[in-house]
Structure 1
Amino acid sequence: MHDRRPPRGRSLSTWTTRRWLRVGASLSLAVLAVLGVLGFWVLNRTQNLTTDLVDVRTPATSAALRLESALVNQETGTRGYALTGNPELLEPYRQGLADQKTQTDRLVQLLHGNDSALADLAAVEDAAARWQREVAGPIAAAPAGTPVAQSAESAAGGKTAFDRVRAELARQQDHLRSDRAAARADLVSTMRVRNWVFAAIGVVIAVLTALIFEGLRRGITRPLEQLGSDARRIGAGDFDHPIAATGPADLRRLSTDIDSMRRRLVEELAFTEQARLRLDAQAAELQRSNTELEQFAYVASHDLQEPLRKVSSFTQLLQRRYGGQLDARADQYIDFAVDGANRMQVLINDLLDFSRVGRVHHNHQDVDLEDVLDRTLDVLSDSIAEAGAQITHDPLPTVFADPTQMGMLWQNLIGNAVKFRRPEIPPRIHVSAERRDGLYHFAVTDNGIGIAPEFAEKVFVIFQRLHTKDAYSGSGIGLAMCKKIVEFHGGTIAIDPDHVEGTRVVLTLDAEPAEALLPPTPAGPTPAAAEQEAR
């Protein structure tokens, strides 16, 4: 069978940052857990040995020495009593018996579970009991006042019996000292092991910390720094700089995705740059064409004005000199020629005014619309008086605009409201103004003939008329000029479809000062210069 598992290096290369962190944390916790268990065991072992040495071995040795002292006191007391018969000398014997019982009980308690030490204690007790039974007891029971008769005979036997007691005591103490020395050596050894274990724990923690920091630096910090460096370089404009894919699998995927986005942006920028170059070329061509058209318009208007003046002058001379001398048809033809020449002059002048909006008049400044409306009413005073129009208005604000264009705007709006009135009904015109949402909202409302909703957009198209020239005079350019003026100032204008009793024209203008939109400087003579030259 073939081993189909991927190579180790390849499998590790697919690990993500989360997996690396999970494996590293698990290994670190496992090592720390093992070291912690070992450290706990060493500490517990040290504590147990210390407790055994302090609370058992040393007190047991001391108790054995006190037991020996109690037995020696008994031997001394009985020997003195046997020689002198003085009962006061039995007091050390009686105190020795009490001390023997106390120290024996303490040793039994301290040596609980230590069979060899308890056996030594039992041997001491047996030897002491034999000596007390054979020697000390009979001497202490003898009457006081005279030396004990058997003292000389029993002295040798008592000494031999007490020597056996001393031998058992010496053996017990030797064993206890050996056990205490062994316990002390074990404690010292265990403490040495404890110190090495905790030193190893410290070293392992330091090594793990260094490995973790180095792993984070190589696996996360350095790849992110490289990615950030590449991103900043691309952000500085070096879009052809590739992004290197380093680090764990997820960071490499992130780098690959960002590099894919970079390549897409490079493609989009290349396409955008090509489009911009084409637009720049088209804009330059359009600017050149507009400049030529403007110059052509001024030249053409100048060339048209002179023959129109001649046609108008001579047809008027014909009308004055030969009027009534020819037949009625000839007079009608002359009237048609005079009217056509006059309307052609009006149309040319209106076209010139329309073309000047945004080119000739662009001297933006603070304009008081109250003063502009007053001047407009003065200009239109004759037609207002003839129609019997009543014109009212709200307080009008000051706006940042071109004063000439504002005059043309109000003159066309008020003039249309007066002109398109209902027969036999005096015009009532009101100009309202309010500030809302950073804009000034104006409305010119009249009680005239009104505009049908289907023509609300058509009336703002140049030369679009809803009535014949016989019904209402004009060239059909007024509202188109108003639209151009308002839009040049960044506003909007429309017919209010909800107003049915007449016409309401609503428009907006910026409430805050804004920079004027300056037209591009054309190559060659400017239209204003051409117009001045034409005049």
Structure 2
Amino acid sequence: MRSREHSRRAGGAPGEDPEPPPAPAPGRPWSTMRWLRVGVASALVVLAALGVLGAWVFVHSTGVNGRLVDRSTPALIASARLEAAFVDQETGIRGYALTGKPEYLLPYEQGRIRQEAQLRVLRRVTAADSRAREDLAVVLAHVEGWRTLVADPIVAAPPGIPVPEAADRQGAAKAAFDELRAATATQQAHLQADRDHARGDLDDVRLLRTWVFAGIAAVIVLLALLVFEGLRRGVTRPVAGLVHDAERVAHGDFAHPITELGPADIRALAHAMEAMRRRLADELAFADRARRRLDEQALDLRRSNAELEQFAYVASHDLQEPLRKVASFCGLLQKRYSGQLDERADQYIHFAVDGATRMQTLISDLLKFSRVGRVDTKVVDVDLESVFTTVVDDIAVAIQESDARIEHDPLPRVQGDPTQLALLLQNLLVNAIKFRDLEHAPLLRMSVERDGRMWRFALTDNGIGIAPEYADRIFVVFQRLHTREAYPGNGIGLAMCKKIVEFHGGRIHLDPDHTEGTRIVFTLPADA
């Protein structure tokens, strides 16, 4: 009935696992994985949009900067250098016209070379600017006009003397070159305006880039804060609450409930832990009730055992006196009337004396057996070598009568009761001498070795031996393998040895692998 009640309280039939807690309804609320997927997808979309915006700003600023650096500024510089080349040409032509010396044509020639170089630059950097191309065409037209009107005729004149036509065309030459310089100035003004416009665009795009990247940084920081707060609210705080509740339960507050917070899977975990807490609480409550019942039964059992021990002691002690009287008077009968009665009467008196004597021995052995580990027990440092020597001296008569030889290894010191350990060694030695082979003198050897935290002892003899199937029976009280006529005794010796060894925290058994005689192995703790 208690098992059925316990099974119902535990949540299932005996031998069956409890049913798992029901899972939360799908979609309400979201699980941690779903929150993570949605959050990661949203973050990736935002980051992708920010990346596209940043890439566009970068490309746009690169284009504006390229227009300023690769087109407007080189075009303005090339136009200024082109004008300087025109001035060098005009200076060389004027010097040659006035002196007729060929060396004055050197600036003219160099100016033409620089003119061609700058024209190539201008054509390359203004290829996409129609107005710049028109301005360059106007400049080139004025250059050709000036060269046709002034430069070519002067260069064609023979060297060595001033060119007479130069003085006549001085006014026209000056007007043509002024028109060329005016066209060049117009070209440079347009190019300067383009450069200023490009510079303004560059400043605008730099400001735009600064704001865009600042906005991107702000969005990333905001996204990080949102992720942190989402994790804190959705994972960290529910898990921390779950850990707090679990710690309270672990510290003994089994009535504290597990709160369900957070996403669906964490709620499911909390639900399962709450079911486990309830199951454990029910199990502990049942165990407490069972333990209380066991404590009550143990108390009753200890009280009953104490009463039984007291009864056994009193009974054994009180039986000594009447048995002593019976044995004494039977002995007197045997001594006084031996031979005066018939043979049957003498036999009856002998049986009575023998029975009373054996009863006294049995009661004495029972008293010793009941006192093991209970009366006058003191645990001290015991020198087994000294105890063994004393025991051998005590049984010297039995050793001498059986012509026994006893050998032993140096025995260690152990913690225990010296009286009980002496009784242990005495019972083992006497038992080995008693069950000897009558054809051979008894040979007993006590060996010892360290086995971890235990001393392992083995007493080996060359006696009649014990069959392995009786290995457990020989340590049971009153169990005998031979008749009392063949080997005297009450069947308590080895049972007492077992009780003494186990009281000291060791184990004792028969070695079934030893066939020539008997080997009893027992252990005693090596440490206190």
TM-score by length of 1: 0.87
Q: 1:324-473 counterparts in 2 under 5 A? A: 324-473=339-488
Partner deviation per Cα, 1:247-274 (whole Å, 9 max, x = no partner): 2233222222222222221122112111
What secondary structure, in the 3-state scheme, does the structure 2 residue paired with 1:470 have?
coil
Instruction: Find 1:504's aligned residue among 519, 524, 528.
Output: 519
Other-structure match for 1:197: 212
Contact 2:157–2:163 (8 Å) recurs in 1: no
In structure 2, the CA distance between the partners of 1:175 and 1:414, relative to structure 1 (3 Å rule), is: same
Partner deviation per Cα, 1:393-435 (whole Å, 9 max, x = no partner): 2222222111111111111111112222233432222222222
1:146 offset after TM fit, Å? 5.6
Q: 1:27-176 counterparts in 2 under 5 A? A: 27-72=42-87, 74-75=89-90, 87=101, 93=108, 96-142=111-157, 145=161, 148=164, 151-152=167-168, 154-155=169-170, 157-176=172-191
For 1:267, the aligned partner's letter is D
What is the alpha-carbon distance in structure 2 between the residues aligned to residue 327 and residue 95 of structure 1?
Answer: 175
> What are structure 1's unaligned runs of at least 5 residues?
1-8, 514-535
Q: 1:187-226 counterparts in 2 under 5 A? A: 187-226=202-241
Instruction: Find 1:485's aligned residue among 500, 523, 528.
Output: 500
The alignment of Structure 1 onto Structure 2 pairs a total of residues equal to 502
What is the alpha-carbon distance in structure 1 between the residues aligned to residue 92 and residue 316 of structure 2?
Answer: 158
What is the alpha-carbon distance in structure 1 between the residues aligned to residue 225 and residue 120 of structure 2?
Answer: 59
What is the alpha-carbon distance in structure 1 between the residues aligned to residue 109 and residue 486 of structure 2?
Answer: 157
What is the alpha-carbon distance in structure 2 between the residues aligned to residue 449 and residue 476 of structure 1?
Answer: 17
Instruction: Find 1:11's aligned residue among 14, 27, 32.
Output: 27
In structure 2, the CA distance between the partners of 1:438 and 1:79, relative to structure 1 (3 Å rule), is: closer
1:293 offset after TM fit, Å? 1.1
Greater shift, 261-270 or 400-409, is seen at 261-270
What is the alpha-carbon distance in structure 2 between the residues aligned to residue 413 and residue 60 of structure 1?
Answer: 122
Partner deviation per Cα, 1:336-389 (whole Å, 9 max, x = no partner): 111111111111111100100010142111212222222112221112212222
What is the alpha-carbon distance in structure 1 between the residues aligned to residue 460 and residue 117 of structure 2?
Answer: 126
For 2:403, the aligned partner's letter is G
> What are structure 2's unaligned runs of at least 5 residues?
1-24
What is the alpha-carbon distance in structure 1 between the residues aligned to residue 104 and residue 421 of structure 2?
Answer: 143
Instruction: Find 2:192's aligned residue among 165, 177, 185.
Output: 177
For 1:148, the aligned partner's letter is P
Partner deviation per Cα, 1:308-363 (whole Å, 9 max, x = no partner): 12211222222222222222222221111111111111111111001000101421
1:10 offset after TM fit, Å? 6.8
1:225 offset after TM fit, Å? 1.2
TM-score by length of 2: 0.88
Contact 1:439–1:511 (8 Å) recurs in 2: yes
What is the alpha-carbon distance in structure 2 between the residues aligned to residue 352 and residue 342 of structure 1?
Answer: 16
What is the alpha-carbon distance in structure 1 between the residues aligned to residue 471 and residue 292 of structure 2?
Answer: 39
For 1:388, the aligned partner's letter is D
Contact 1:361–1:405 (8 Å) recurs in 2: no
What secondary structure, in the 3-state scheme, does the structure 2 residue paired with 1:11 have?
coil
**2:293 matches 1:275:** no
Other-structure match for 1:25: 40
1:73 offset after TM fit, Å? 5.0
What secondary structure, in the 3-state scheme, does the structure 2 residue paired with 1:370 have?
helix
For 1:356, the aligned partner's letter is R
What is the alpha-carbon distance in structure 2 between the residues aligned to residue 452 and residue 101 of structure 1?
Answer: 127
What is the alpha-carbon distance in structure 1 between the residues aligned to residue 86 and residue 151 of structure 2?
Answer: 11
For 2:49, the aligned partner's letter is V
1:157 offset after TM fit, Å? 4.4
Partner deviation per Cα, 1:94-130 (whole Å, 9 max, x = no partner): 5544443343233223323333312221221012212
What is the alpha-carbon distance in structure 2 between the residues aligned to residue 149 and residue 432 of structure 1?
Answer: 146
Contact 1:450–1:501 (8 Å) recurs in 2: yes
What is the alpha-carbon distance in structure 2 between the residues aligned to residue 241 and residue 420 of structure 1?
Answer: 67
**2:322 matches 1:307:** yes
Q: 1:250-329 counterparts in 2 under 5 A? A: 250-329=265-344
- Once superposed, what is the RMSD of the aligned Cα atoms? 2.6
